[in-house]
Amino acid sequence: MTRLAVPKTYKLYIGGKFPRSESGRTYEVASKDGAFLANAALASRKDARDAVVAARAAVKGWAGTTAYNRGQVLYRIAEVLEGRRAQFADELVRTEGLPAVTAEAAVDLAIDRWVWYAGWADKYAQVLGNGNPVAGPYFNISVPEPTGVVAIVAPQAGPAHSLVGLISAVAPALVSGNTVVVVASQAAPLSAISLGEVLATSDVPGGVVNVLTGSPAEIAPWLASHADVNALDLVGAGALDWVQLQMDAAETLKRVLIPEDGADPAAPSLDRIAAFTETKTVWHTKGLL
Amino acid sequence: MTIDTGAGPRSAATTRGAARALDLLDGPVTDTTLRRYLEGIPGVDAVGLDQRAAGLGTRSIKTTSKAMALDRIIELIDLTTLEGADTPGKVRSLVAKGITPDPSDPTCPRVAAVCVYGDLVPVAIDALGALHAPRSREAGTGPGISVAAVATAFPSGRASLRVKLADVEDAVAGGADEIDMVIDRGAFLAGRYSQVFEEIVAVKEACRRPDGEDAHLKVILEVGELVTYDNVRRASWLAVLAGADFIKTSTGKVTSNATLPVTLLMLEVVRDWHRLTGEKVGVKPAGGIRTSKDAIKYLVTVAETAGEDWLQPHLFRFGASSLLNDVLLQRQKTKSGHYSGADYVTID
Amino acid sequence: MSFLDYAPAPESRAIVRLRPSYGLFLDGEFVDGHGTPFPTISPATEEHLAEVATADEHDVDLAVAAARRAYDEVWSKLSGSDRGKYLFRIARLVQERARELAVAESLNNGKPIKESRDLDIPLVAAWFFYYAGWADKLDYAGLGANPKALGVAGQIIPWNFPLLMLAWKIAPALAAGNTVVLKPAETTPLTALLFAEILQQADLPPGVVNIVTGAGATGQALVRHPGVDKIAFTGSTAVGREIARATAGTGKKLTLELGGKAANIVFDDAPIDQAIEGVVNGIFFNQGHVCCAGSRLLVQENVHDDVVERLKHRLSTLRLGDPLDKNTDIGAINSQEQLDRIRELTAAGEQEGATPWSPPCELPANGFWYAPTIFTGVQASSRIAREEIFGPVLSILTFRTPQEAIAKANNTPYGLSAGIWSDKGSRILAVADGLKAGVVWSNTFNRFDPASPFGGYKESGYGREGGKQGLSAYLAPSGGAQ
């Protein structure tokens, strides 16, 4: 006799909490072959707004931690992910219909990517920054700093996109100390909410990552035009009217990454860390007298 | 009014200078109170100070302004000879040069003062005759030329206070109108601010003459030995608090003498002192100013920092010797329209 | 006569020989434009200086085509070291003709000759010299081995530092291997056209740099031209926003240097005389026509009165007048339009209850002038505390604690620059950390160097100019080029 399973309620992840959409709406998530999997929250513009508020509130603390500490917190996430390998693989199998072996390999890849980015936290500034030999009696140094709140439309298609693509987009934004509002894969949002659970049980402060599920087409314009969002990663927005989103983002001169297609969108690179940093150059006089 | 100066040798000195300090320090003049006050003055950013001085140095003074500047420079010169080899003959020659800088041009002004060692003061006064400032003023024939004497074991200042005061008293007795004293840099750098203060107060006392007129006191900081701008600023305040009539950069006897930034810094101090009290203290850059071009930069710096009021002999002097001839060459050029040569100005 | 009434010391205009009219610089030659030519004037006297051609869409098309041809056929095939040699040549030619360029700049822009002579033009030469050396070292630009040029760069520059902004744009673009179509500002085209002569003297291959003069429409044509791979713009945030919109979805790379409302923060332990100089330099340098100008003075409340008094004293020694006089500190406002803007904002400042003060100052009868002005009693909500005035107008606000200083400094959509004045190293570094500004000057202000990246946070734009960062803005990684 088989045990009757206890299904999970998949909610949003905002400010370290798991609220339902303020709109009360949900949408049905189905497996590849059409079987019901969950009623995910269908986030509204107000949920997006709340997520930005939470993300903004978390910037100071997250950006203000030492790079060593941020690296450890990020690494801790990988540890917790590792402990939940089976769950993530299972969700990939159920949502994306991947073979178990493929799903497990994808989870491993996602975890390894997270570890790779965690290790960058206390190095990227050394690689991207520099001392500048100016022609005068000045100490002069350029260092990259987080830009602030980054809104991400996570990859929406491709094998294991709902986990590997998600993590590939979220992790690099976090490395420098940005906080994130991510719109998950619409079709396969389970990994994203489970990632929220991982974050909630690791050492990441609430609000550093906020996960919205629902319709990117509905939510992304609100994020793109939100004046308190500093950067917009449209990696997964290829199927949307992303040019309009980029134009919306221009209103407050947001930093924008445009959609990527291909097998491995948001493939690991230092450029993705750099994309959401600002170079600050500090001059100081030097005088013996 | 008396001041409690601890164990200082002249602890009961009562002077105008001491009064300045008492008002500001709001307590007895001790190393502690002086340190508290002097170190409470905002610091100096060396880069910014140098840049400001360089900026003032780019002023372009032409035509009528230049002619005016050249004459004014002469009127502000303390024509100086401070050599071990100085003789009465040398001093008489210096005086003659100060009286008639350019024999070919009767409109050429006279210098403000001649500056000599104390023992040669009587020679200078004798050579000046009726043009010696006090006699000239008395006779109503213009400001005349003052005689300044360096004293207080110039240039090192390394002697007992008794010796330094005797040095001053001799020069004053000899008729010196102005005393250029040196501060004890060693004491200053060791943090014995009250000792430096006391010595200035004591010298100021020694500048008194029986007729009630004081010899004017110029306090030489020897900026080349204080080295940092923060030290120069503190020493400037210390000297002003102790009653200096002038603060002077240098003896001319160490490698680093007057510079435009350091003079600017000292001008900022006297400007601030004036803002605070309404009193005007003079500034004298000395040593290393050899060209008209440089001297004009100083005039600009004075005018744009303390104000044009300061471009008077009682508030600004150049301590210089070779500067005068360069100014005369420039002056001849301005008047004649063509460049002059070294043989057309006199050596003193 | 007062000594301080310095006799006039005008720099000679004879060194500049302007032609009566200037064409567009296309494919190595001056040619007529198809638009209506416009006069360019001296803002100090409103004197007519020359007629300048207007490039219409067709001309822009020709310029882009010339740049593309030069890219495909010449420039992209040249070795990095040869590209560098051209840039070194340009640097030297700029040095040789420095005084001429300085005089022309002051004539056309209205800025004091001492600034064009001692700052703008020397920096122009430095910029070319710095990037010349990069041309054969692109592997070290931070993009991995064999980074690729982007192609044709469209560059639009402002009127506040006409030739310097040209150098900021052209030097890195050429070093990285791009060719250029540059549009100078409408009111200040002359030094760019003299620069075109320098390019001829340098024997730069035709089409590598093309200069199209004109107004906003010319710039729009350039921004929208499909043959352009990269747009670099310096100017107002409003126009920057338009460009960001116009290039959305086109794949054109974009860097923007936009407006600012920099805080200059003076703590009570600041080296006070240098701080006063820095405040003055921060806002009155170049008549305040500086995107990174320290237009908001945040002064610690306990020293506010002293700072204001010292500032007033210092302002009374500023000399406003003939830009060509070597003793002029404050030159002319660049245009009637800008003067109107300054007047509108300062009037708003007064209406909002702030108190203006200017030193006694005689303004010339002709030309566009505005006396240096400070506003006390400015509230954070006032328009003069929030909007970029781009003129010699300082708004003074107070703060009580370092935290409050940081919060007030950051309370703006801009984030280009900031200044900190304090004697306390640890506080300076912590405040610098907290400021959302791309350039932070500690105990100094308005310093520029080709080795030092410059650019803003937030609505001050994106991308950096200067340094390695400025070079990489004109490059794509080997694998990642479009």
Domains with residue ranges and CATH for chain A: 10-285 (3.40.605.10)
Closest CA to A75 of A64, A87, A67: A67
* Average pLDDT score over residue span C211-225: 98
Per residue in C337-379, pLDDT tens?
Answer: 999 999 999 999 999 999 999 999 999 999 999 999 999 999 9
For residue C64, the SS3 value is helix
Q: How many domains are there within chain B? A: 1
pLDDT over 80 (residue A1)? no
Query: For residues C156 and C181, is the Cβ–Cβ distance under 8 A?
Result: no
* Average pLDDT score over residue span A194-214: 97
Q: Which residues pair with B276 in a beta bridge?
A: none
pLDDT band at A242 (very low <50, low <70, confident <90, very high): very high
pLDDT over 50 (residue B159)? yes
Q: What is the ipTM of this complex?
A: 0.96
Does B335 qualify as catalytic in the annotation?
no
Phi, psi of C411 (to 5 degrees): -80, 65
Report the chain B residue with the minimal C-alpha distance to residue A284.
B47
Chain C hits for A265, CB-CB cut-off 8 Å, are none
Chain C hits for B52, CB-CB cut-off 8 Å, are 273-274, 277
**What pLDDT score was predicted for residue B20?**
75
Chain A hits for C438, CB-CB cut-off 8 Å, are 278-281
Query: For residues C194 and C22, is the Cβ–Cβ distance under 8 A?
Result: no
Query: For residues C33 and C52, is the Cβ–Cβ distance under 8 A?
Result: no
**What pLDDT score was predicted for residue C482?**
38
pLDDT over 60 (residue A109)? yes
**What pLDDT score was predicted for residue A144?**
98
**What pLDDT score was predicted for residue C481?**
40
Query: Is B299 in contact with C6 (Cβ distance < 8 A)?
Result: no
Query: Domain range spanning residue B6?
Result: 2-344
Distance CA A189, CA A212 (A): 9
**Greater pLDDT, B323 or B24:** B323
Chain C hits for A283, CB-CB cut-off 8 Å, are 439-442, 444, 447, 452
Per residue in C115-130, pLDDT tens?
Answer: 999 999 999 999 999 9
**What pLDDT score was predicted for residue B26?**
76
Chain A hits for B48, CB-CB cut-off 8 Å, are 285
pLDDT band at C326 (very low <50, low <70, confident <90, very high): very high
Closest CA to A138 of B231, C440, B55: C440
pLDDT band at A251 (very low <50, low <70, confident <90, very high): very high
**What pLDDT score was predicted for residue B25?**
81
* Average pLDDT score over residue span A216-243: 98
The residue among A281, A284, A285, A289 with the most chain C CBs within 10 A of its CB, best to mutate, is: A281
Query: Is B52 in contact with C269 (Cβ distance < 8 A)?
Result: no
CATH number for the domain that contains residue B296: 3.20.20.70
Q: Which residues contact A73 (CB under 8 A, 6 or more apart)?
A: A65, A202, A203, A204
Does B66 qualify as catalytic in the annotation?
no
Q: What is the DSSP string of C426-468?
A: HHHHHHHHH---SEEEES--S---TTS-B--SGGGEES-BSHH
**What pLDDT score was predicted for residue B21?**
76
Query: Is C444 in contact with A285 (Cβ distance < 8 A)?
Result: yes
Distance CA C72, CA C82 (A): 16
pLDDT over 90 (residue B348)? no
Distance CA C97, CA C93 (A): 6
* Average pLDDT score over residue span C159-180: 98
**What pLDDT score was predicted for residue B6?**
37
Residue type, C26: L
Per residue in C46-84, pLDDT tens?
Answer: 999 999 999 999 999 999 999 999 999 999 999 999 999
Q: What is the DSSP string of C317-362?
A: T--BS-TTBTT-SB---S-HHHHHHHHHHHHHHHHTT-EEE--S-P
**What pLDDT score was predicted for residue B23?**
76
For residue C247, the SS3 value is helix
Query: Is A130 in contact with C442 (Cβ distance < 8 A)?
Result: no
The residue among A127, A140, A271, A283 with the most chain C CBs within 10 A of its CB, best to mutate, is: A283
pLDDT band at B89 (very low <50, low <70, confident <90, very high): very high
Report the chain A residue with the minimal C-alpha distance to residue B44.
A289
* Average pLDDT score over residue span C293-315: 97
Out of A136, A285, A289, the one facing B229 most closely (by C-beta) is: A289
Q: Does C457 touch chain A (CB under 8 A)?
A: yes
Question: CB-hemisphere CA count at 13 Å for C189?
Answer: 30
- Centre a 10 Å sphere on the Cβ of residue B93 and count the other Cβ atoms it contains: 16
Report the chain C residue with the minimal C-alpha distance to residue A147.
C457
**What pLDDT score was predicted for residue B5?**
37
Per the residue annotation, which of C11, C291, C292, C388 is the catalytic one?
A: C291
pLDDT over 50 (residue C2)? yes
* Average pLDDT score over residue span B287-295: 96
* Average pLDDT score over residue span A146-161: 97
Q: Which residues contact C14 (CB under 8 A, 6 or more apart)?
A: none
Query: Is C469 in contact with A230 (Cβ distance < 8 A)?
Result: no
Q: Does B43 touch chain A (CB under 8 A)?
A: no
Q: Does C423 touch chain B (CB under 8 A)?
A: yes
Per residue in B203-257, pLDDT tens?
Answer: 999 999 888 889 999 999 999 999 999 999 999 999 999 999 999 999 999 999 9
Per residue in B7-62, pLDDT tens?
Answer: 333 333 445 556 777 777 877 889 999 998 999 898 999 999 999 999 999 999 99
Strands C230-234, C253-257: pairing is parallel
Per the residue annotation, which of B97, B164, B204, B284 is the catalytic one?
A: B284
* Average pLDDT score over residue span C235-255: 97
Q: How many CB pairs under 8 A join B and C?
A: 74
Chain B hits for C317, CB-CB cut-off 8 Å, are 304
**What pLDDT score was predicted for residue A115?**
98
